[in-house]
Amino acid sequence: MMGLRSNVARKAERLFNEGRISIIEAHPKFMRTEVVGDSATYRQTHYADKTVSCTCPSHEEICSHIVASRKVVGKKYRPLNFQELNESVFGDDNIV
């Protein structure tokens, strides 16, 4: 079991390092991300109650796409609105 978890962590790190994660929607109750996986593109939804889901076919409770997307969203997800998201990514001077 430990080997499987470390494989998930290694794959997630690779996906993150290769820049395959995008935030596609920020909402007060959830944030959606998209991860370009090795065989397809999958979407994750990070909810305000800290639950998360992924569209991939993995049977694992937490897949590499969720782990990778959490590196972008943050482990302790707090819903962001678009202004807060822009501030966190671009700083105060570049708010759209």
Longest Cα separation, the chain: 47
Angle of helix 64-73 relative to helix 2-17, nearest 10 degrees, comes to: 50
What average pLDDT does the segment 7-30 reach?
91
- Output the pLDDT for position 1: 42
Domain span at residue 11 reads 2-85
Asked whether residue 24 is assigned to any structural domain, the reply reads yes
Give 30-58 pLDDT, tens digit per residue.
889 999 999 999 999 998 888 899 999 99
- In this prediction the pTM is 0.73
Domain assignment present for residue 40? The answer is yes
Residue type, position 63, single letter: C
Q: What is the pLDDT at residue 53?
A: 93
- Using one digit for the tens of pLDDT, what is the confidence trace for 61-78? 889 999 999 888 875 555
Total number of domains constituting the chain: 1
